[in-house]
Amino acid sequence: MRRFEGRRAVVTGGASGIGRATALRLAGEGAEVLIGDIDEEGARAVVAEGEGRIAFQRCDVTDPGDIASLMVTADTAGGIDALFNNAGAGGTRAVIDEIDVAGWDATQNLLLRSVALGIREAAPLMAKRGGGAIVNTASIAALMSGAAPTAYSVAKAGVLHLSRMAAADLARHRIRVNAVCPGFITTNIFTSTVGIEGEKRDQANRVIAQMASNAQPIARAGLPEDIAAAVAYLLSDDASFVTGTHILVDGGMAVGMRHSWDPDTPGLFDSLAAFAA
């Protein structure tokens, strides 16, 4: 499939994980991609993998000026048809009654304000080309508790509703806006959040991959490519009648507590069996 032949895309957080896989997927389907990220080394590797179809500009999505500059660069190079607002990290892990203002603000600015500003900057540039498509990375944590800390989960719930509101606001410009909700996906986000790097990161990621295989009904680890496939669909003309909604890509994690889907995990009625006998 080459659904993005002649199209131009911007991907934030494209140096690693879900953003990297999506940049490569879009480029593989014919797009010219500009990635924005703070990880210059990681981004250079993705540019090399992109075989001439992927470019990089340093962009800290907590800086409104950087976001504006990223979009202007993409526009000047030929325009923007597709935008994936995806950069992120774990944010503060404090519980709500211990949260500090700086940690709360930093988390919201990284995960939610960045998405609002990405949309604000890209929308007029897409509108003047006759339309476009935007996907924002939310999370399973936007839909349920227990998947991530409070500040992160609230920011991601904001991303979901922002996606709906922006879809309504921008339909008049023929711009579609949707979100993707990843479940447990094996990327560096977990080690980054707690500051594990280098060789230890690789070891920790192997442990994470093992855990991720057992975390949901589909018994394998969720991969960045699983999310990239959903994002590519939402950004493509295959989704031309799809806006203001989200796709949950979680291997079935949201179906409920483990005993509801794992026959080897005892549930309430297994515990009561001894009394019934």
Ligand X SMILES: NC(=O)c1ccc[n+]([C@@H]2O[C@H](COP(=O)([O-])OP(=O)(O)OC[C@H]3O[C@@H](n4cnc5c(N)ncnc54)[C@H](O)[C@@H]3O)[C@@H](O)[C@H]2O)c1
Task: Please report, as ranges, the residues that interact with ligand X according to CB under 6 A.
Answer: 12-13, 15-19, 37-39, 42, 59-62, 86-89, 110, 137, 139, 182, 184-185, 187-189, 192, 224
* Closer CB to ligand X, 197 or 238, in the complex: 197
Q: Closest CB to ligand X among 7 and 113?
A: 113
Minimum Å gap between C-beta 39 and ligand X is: 4
231, 22 contact by CB (below 8 A): yes
CB of 123 to ligand X, least distance (A): 20
Instruction: Check if the beta carbon of residue 122 is closer than 8 Å to that of residue 81.
Output: no
Close Cβ partners of 65 (under 8 Å, ≥ 6 residues apart): none
Amino acid at 174: R
Inter-axis angle of helices 150-170 and 101-108, nearest 10: 40
Tokens of 51: 């075989």
Give the nearer residue to ligand X in terms of CB position, either 62 or 69: 62
Rounded CA-CA distance 136/235 in Å is 11
* Shortest CB 139 distance to ligand X, Å: 4
Q: Is residue 152 among the annotated active site residues? A: yes
Q: How many whole angstroms separate alpha carbon 246 and alpha carbon 160?
A: 7
CB of 61 to ligand X, least distance (A): 4
Q: Closer to ligand X at the Cβ: 235 or 274?
A: 235
Contacts of 156 (CB under 8 A, 6+ apart): 111, 112, 138, 139, 141, 142, 148, 181
| Closest CB to ligand X among residues 16, 92 | 16
Q: Which residue is nearest to ligand X (CB)?
A: 17
**Catalytically annotated residue among 56, 152, 184, 190:** 152
Q: Give the residue with the Cβ less far from ligand X, 4 or 184.
A: 184
Q: How far apart are CA 140 and CA 246, in angstroms?
A: 11
- Measured CA to CA, the distance from residue 231 to residue 86 in angstroms comes to 10
> Least separation, in Å, of the C-beta of 117 and ligand X?
12
Query: Least distance from C-beta 194 to ligand X, angstroms?
Result: 12
Active site residues: 152
